[in-house]
Amino acid sequence: MTAKAPTKRSLVFFLVNDFTMVAFATALEPLRIANRMLGYEAYRWRLASADGKPVAASNGVLCAVDTSLDEERRKMSGQDRPSMVVVCSGINVEDQGSKTIYAWLREEYNRGVAIGGLCTGAYILAAAGLLSNRRCAIHWENLPGFAEAFPKANVFADLFEVDQNIYTCAGGTAALDLMLKLIGDDFDDSLVNRICEQVLTDRVRSPTDRQRLPLRARLGVQNSKVLTIIELMEANLSEPLSLIEIADHVGLSRRQIERLFRQEMGRSPARYYLEIRLDRARHLLIQSSLPVVEVAVACGFVSASHFSKCYRELYARSPQQERIDRKQLLAA
């Protein structure tokens, strides 16, 4: 009689309120398909929540779970201990952690269990102290606030990152790429290719592939000089470059840059630079608890009063009102 093939990985998907369904589904489905292709249960999983009750995804769908945090803690020392714990989160992640969750994640990690985070899961991993001096990925929309909140984490706008026994991905369909990498590590490219055919994707993306559309597609801009200037601006938000410094870098005169921006962007380069700095500030106000003055400094403003004036002119409300509106929206 042929011996049963061993399980490669047993996973616990830990769901927190407002988790992103697309990231969760695209992480789970490759495992199911792998089992089907292999003809045996190479991957096992169960779902957990803090209290063992169903969890609502950010789209409002309730997802039933198998275990609670207390039950998972009891399983740590037995044969049901997982080989990997994956934290699934999404919006409002700052409100989803707790000392109990952080302690459980640290204990699992210290026992040799791999720890992963989908979408904004890196936030919970960082709050648990697991990402100091580690490479990690998080959704681009949350990256500014995360970088300010956890300066010791080496965060990148990559699709996913693997640093030793820590796995993080930016969410969305990047969860598929992360799981395909795991399956490829466990088996071979042949199995990965068959899974890709099943889910109708033509390749496994590299960890360093872009999260967002390239600037050319995102902005509808074709001029390579303008694109280079915008990339420079986006890379220097906390300490803005002068127009002279930008001109020297791209080999154009100030007048040429002014004319190009008027033609391609419909505004001056100074105005465009201000708008992207304020856009970053808005993300920090919404996603972090940084004082307004620290948000101002992080976005290259010399004073909170000047920052507030510019913010109000663009968004028709003050930075403080932005936070009040956000809290009221979450409480509704």
Q: What is the mean pLDDT of residues 58-62?
A: 95
pLDDT tens, residue by residue, 78-89: 889 999 999 999
Spatial CA neighbour of 231 closest among 219, 215, 247? 215
Whole-number percent of the chain with pLDDT over 70: 95
The predicted pLDDT at position 330 comes to 58
Paired sense of beta strands 84-88 and 67-68, if any? unpaired
Q: Which two tokens stand for residue 129?
A: 């102290």
CA distance 281 to 149: 14
pLDDT of residue 53 exceeding 60: yes
pLDDT of residue 331 exceeding 60: no
pLDDT of residue 213 exceeding 90: no
The three-state DSSP-derived secondary structure of the chain is CCCCCCCCEEEEEEECCCECHHHHHHHHHHHHHHHHHHCCCCEEEEEEECCCCCEEECCCCEECCCEEHHHHHHHCCCCCCCCEEEEECECCHHHCCCHHHHHHHHHHHHCCCEEEEECCHHHHHHHCCCCCCCEEECCHHHHHHHHHHCCCCEEECCCEEEECCEEEECCCCHHHHHHHHHHHHHCCHHHHHHHHHHCCCCCCCCCCCCCCCCHHHHHCCCCHHHHHHHHHHHHCCCCCCCHHHHHHHHCCCHHHHHHHHHHHHCCCHHHHHHHHHHHHHHHHHHHCCCCHHHHHHHCCCCCHHHHHHHHHHHHCCCHHHHHHHHHHHHHC
C-alpha neighbours within 13 Å on the C-beta side of residue 258: 6
Higher-scoring residue by pLDDT: 219, 159: 159
Q: What are phi and psi of 84, to 5 degrees?
A: -155, 140
pLDDT tens, residue by residue, 270-317: 999 999 999 989 988 887 778 999 999 999 999 999 999 999 999 999
Give me the domains of the chain, ranges plus CATH numbers.
9-198 (3.40.50.880), 215-331 (1.10.10.60)
pLDDT tens, residue by residue, 40-52: 999 999 999 999 9
